[in-house]
Amino acid sequence: MAVTEPAPAAVSAAHSAAHEGILRRQSARESAARTYARALPIVPVRARGLTIEGADGRRYLDCLSGAGTLALGHNHPVVLEAIRKVLDSGAPLHVLDLATPVKDAFTTELFRTLPRGLADRARIQFCGPAGTDAVEAALKLVRTATGRDGMLAFTGAYHGMTAGALEASGGATDVRVARLPYPQDYRCPFGIGGADGAEVAARWTESLLDDTKSGVLRPAGMILEPVQGEGGVIPAPDDWLRRMRAITAARSIPLIADEVQTGVGRTGAFWAVEHSGVVPDVMVLSKAIGGSLPLAVVVYRDDLDVWPPGAHAGTFRGNQLAMAAGAATLAYVRENGLAERAGVLGARMLTHLRSLAAEHPCIGDVRGRGLMIGVELVNPAAADGPEPGARPATTGLLSPGRSPRPLPPAPELAAEVQRECLRRGLIVELGGRHSSVVRLLPPLTITDEQAAAILDRLADAISAAARPHHG
């Protein structure tokens, strides 16, 4: 399928009726908790690479990519071939956690990609097929290994929807998890941003751990995302990540890197921790490792492997098709240098978006790493008014006034941009603390022309959505 403009607006009546009928039945029958389906009223029927074709006959450029799952886009030939090979071989599709040649090959390929220092001593636990289950496994693993209970996690984090993962995510208020500031430039909680803001965040972490009256017991582990995705596309500075590694190592606290979204080349390195050279004790992996099918694992250093048999069980831990698709994806990303490609193209797209921000006061910030990109929409009309959560004009901390004052988030405008994008045949996701960040997670395989088409459509959508707000 060629990636071109959306198909003509005039679609056949039959297409239209099928499309409307499916959407109507969905909203009548599916849960009130459904999510993406609300903002994206499309009915995908075919897909290839960056492109999805809807039941309405229209074509869309898909920058949601299954919430960052599709490193190679939809239905990549190497993925389809790997799946067909398993189907044609007569191999069992469901094997619990038994050994199979397909699983053996997946594990070999995955271990080959791991950061040196972990790869040599790695153990893998196959989990239930969602990222959140691998997060649960990681938390359980370090609690068992350390005999401690508490956990360190970060403001704005997202680790999943099961109880333990939710507890460690930004929206939770659980006392078992101590919340630490995640460094960020635009909405720096200390009003500083940059390296100084990250340094203050690191010192706060250190002091919580060392102050015997901080109210924080020595934890079982620290869990972090090297780039917060759902939190609004916030890349952790490399220095800060190295500080977290040093702080945790010095206190024998296992460091868990949640690379569910950042892994497999997405940020410009195969694993996002590699930008900083940090070697975590535990890595949580899902999404792209299954090559578009459900798969989740936790990988960790062998000395942590002291939990008993059955400590983390589950029926669906042996999805052979996902392992085959995943192994093919990992190998393809590695052999074709797609991480490097994501780094180069992502940097170019960020530069382009920053020049767009200069023209649009409603773009408060543009940030990202590799092909994990966020555009934060704000309300420029409120430039002089008070704003929830924004820093005061001067703070008296390290370098007052260094980072520009953030404007209030504009979630309604972001939703309008998402709708205008869809109208133009571009699927984007929203994220961030206030759902005011437009997120781009395109496949790592996109061409320069496709990147340009994405940016054109996004620019048009922002212009259209911002018009009434500019007065």
Residue ranges that bind ligand PMP, judged by CB under 6 A = 67, 130-132, 135, 158-160, 225, 229-230, 258, 260-261, 286
CB 127 to ligand PMP: min, Å: 10
Query: Residue 160 or residue 318: which is nearer to ligand PMP going by CB?
Result: 160
Among residues 230 and 365, whose Cβ is nearest to ligand PMP? 230
Of 198 and 233, CB closest to ligand PMP: 233
Q: Which is nearer to ligand PMP, 234 or 390 (CB)?
A: 234
> Which residue, 267 or 286, is less far from ligand PMP as judged by CB?
286
Q: How far is the CB of 159 from ligand PMP (least distance, A)?
A: 5
Apex CA 72: angle with CA 234 and CA 35, to 5°? 55
The dihedral through the CA atoms of 444, 445, 451, 453 has a sign that is: negative
Q: Output the smallest distance, CB 391 to ligand PMP, in A.
A: 26
For the chain, give the secondary structure using H, E and C: CCCCCCCCCCCCHHHHHHHHHHHHHHHHHCCCCCCHHHHCCCCEEEEEECEEEECCCCEEEECCHHHHCCCCCECCHHHHHHHHHHHHHCCCCCCCCCCCHHHHHHHHHHHHHCCCCCHHHEEEEECCCCHHHHHHHHHHHHHHHHCCCCEEEECCCCCCCCHHHHHCCCCCCCCCEEEECCCCCCCCCCCCCHHHHHHHHHHHHHHHHHCCCCCCCCCCEEEECCEECCCCCEECCHHHHHHHHHHHHHCCCCEEEECCCCCCCCCCCCCHHHHCCCCCCEEEECHHHHCCCCCCEEEEEHHHCCCCCCCCCCCCCCCHHHHHHHHHHHHHHHHCCHHHHHHHHHHHHHHHHHHHHHHCCCEEEEEEECCEEEEEEECHHHCCCCCCCCCCCCCCCCCCCCCCCCCCECHHHHHHHHHHHHHCCEECEEECCCCCEEEECCCCCCCHHHHHHHHHHHHHHHHHHHCHHHC
Q: Phi first, then psi: what are they for 351, rounded to 5°?
A: -60, -45
Contact 245, 257 (CB under 8 A): no
Residue 290 or 364: the one with the smaller Cβ distance to ligand PMP is 290
Residue 132 CB, nearest distance to ligand PMP (Å)? 3
Whole-number minimum distance, CB 85 to ligand PMP, in Å?
26
Residue 208 C-beta: closest distance to ligand PMP, Å: 23
Q: What is the nearest approach in angstroms of ligand PMP to the Cβ of residue 259?
A: 8
CB of 68 vs ligand PMP, minimal distance in Å: 7
Cβ proximity to ligand PMP, 132 vs 445, nearer residue: 132
Cβ proximity to ligand PMP, 273 vs 407, nearer residue: 273
Kindly state the smallest distance separating residue 187's Cβ from ligand PMP, in Å: 19
d(CA 50, CA 68): 12
Output 17 or 163, the one with its CB closest to ligand PMP: 163
Q: Least CB distance from residue 89 to ligand PMP, whole Å? A: 28
Separation between Cα atoms, residue 291 and residue 320, nearest integer Å: 12
Which residue number, 63 or 378, has a Cβ lying nearer to ligand PMP? Answer: 63
As measured in angstroms, the least distance from the Cβ of 205 to ligand PMP is 20
Residue closest to ligand PMP (Cβ): 131
Nearer CB in complex with ligand PMP: 192/224: 224
